[in-house]
C-alpha cells in the first residue's frame, strides 16, 4: 500500500538515494523496516521529513542544526527559543554574505563595463582585499 521504496522517496523528496542512506547513517532519518529482500520500506512521512531536511540544507543549515530542528519538531511542547536562535544565527550570516556580494557585484559590474580600456583601473583586488567592505563574519 503506502510503502515506498528508496527510489520513490528519492524522486518525491528530490534527494538522491545515496544521500538518503547517508542521512539514515547520520541519524537524521530513522532506519526504516526492510522487505523480505532487504529493501528499505518507507512510510510517506519519510518524504515529508526528507523535504524538511532538503529545504533546511538549501537554507544553509548544517546537519547538526537540522537534527536539532527535527528534535524540536518532535516535541511541540518545547519552547520555540532554540529553533528561533538557530534561524536568527543563519539570518545574520546570510545578511553578511549579501552585503559582501553586493560590494563585489559593484566592482565586477565596473569591470564588465570597462569597454575598450584595460583592466588597470579595476578594483576587484582592492575590493576583496579590504576588510572594511565586509561585515567580517569569521567562520560559521
Stretch that binds DNA, among 17-25, 86-94, 99-107, 115-123 (CB under 7 A): 17-25
Q: Could you tell me which stretch among 1-9, 18-26, 33-41, 98-106 binds its own copies (CB under 8 A)?
A: 98-106
Q: How many CB atoms lie within 10 A of CB 102?
A: 10
d(CA 90, CA 31): 29
Q: Which residues contact 106 (CB under 8 A, 6 or more apart)?
A: 127
Going residue by residue from 32 to 71, which x/- string records binding to its own copies, judged by CB under 8 A? -------------x-xxx-xx--xx-xxx--------xxx
If one counts every other C-beta atom within 10 angstroms of the C-beta of residue 71, the result is 12
Interatomic CA distance for residues 93 and 57, integer angstroms: 15
Contact of 72 with 34, CB cutoff 8 Å:
no
Contact code string over 67-96 relative to DNA, x by CB under 7 A: ------------------------------
The size of the interface with its own copies (CB under 8 A), counted in residues, is 71
Binding stretches for DNA (CB under 7 A): 5-8, 10, 15-19, 21-22, 34-40, 57, 62-64, 139
Amino acid at each position: 500500500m503506502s510503502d515506498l521504496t528508496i527510489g520513490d522517496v528519492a524522486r518525491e523528496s528530490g534527494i538522491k538515494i545515496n544521500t538518503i542512506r547517508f542521512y539514515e547513517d547520520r541519524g537524521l532519518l530513522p532506519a526504516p523496516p526492510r522487505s523480505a529482500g532487504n529493501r528499505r520500506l518507507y512510510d510517506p512521512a519519510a518524504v515529508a521529513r526528507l523535504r524538511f531536511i532538503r529545504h533546511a540544507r538549501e537554507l544553509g543549515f548544517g546537519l547538526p542544526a537540522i537534527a536539532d530542528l527535527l528534535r524540536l519538531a518532535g516535541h511541540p511542547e518545547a519552547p520555540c527559543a532554540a529553533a528561533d536562535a538557530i534561524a536568527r544565527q543563519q539570518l545574520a550570516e546570510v545578511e553578511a554574505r549579501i552585503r559582501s556580494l553586493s560590494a563585489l557585484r559593484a566592482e565586477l559590474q565596473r569591470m564588465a563595463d570597462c569597454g575598450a580600456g584595460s583592466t588597470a583601473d579595476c578594483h576587484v583586488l582592492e575590493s576583496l582585499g579590504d576588510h572594511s567592505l565586509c561585515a567580517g563574519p569569521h567562520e560559521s
